[in-house]
Amino acid sequence: MGNKGSKTEEALKLLEGAYAIQTPEDSKVYYKDFSKTYDTTFVEQLSYTYPKRVAEELLSNFDGNGTICDIGCGTGLVGQELKNLNANVVIDGVDISPEMIAVAKTKNVYRNFYELDLTQPILGVPIDYAALISSGTFTHGHLGPTVLINLLSLCRDYALLTVGVNAEHYSDKGFEKVLNKLQAASRIKIIKVSKQPIYSNQNETENEENRTAVVCTFTKMKS
Q: How confident is the model over 182-220, as pLDDT tens digits?
A: 999 999 999 999 999 988 865 444 555 568 899 999 999
Sorted by sequence, the CB contacts under 8 Å of residue 48 that are 6+ apart come out as 42, 77, 198, 199
Pairing of strands 67-71, 90-95: parallel
Fold topology of 49-220: Rossmann fold (3.40.50)
Q: How confident is the model over 54-103, as pLDDT tens digits?
A: 999 999 999 999 999 999 999 999 999 999 999 999 999 999 989 999 99
CA dihedral 116, 122, 90, 67 (to 10 degrees): 170
pTM of the model: 0.88
Which element (helix H / strand E) includes 132? strand 129-138
Domain ranges (residues) in the chain: 49-220
Handedness of CA 163, 96, 89, 132 (dihedral sign): positive
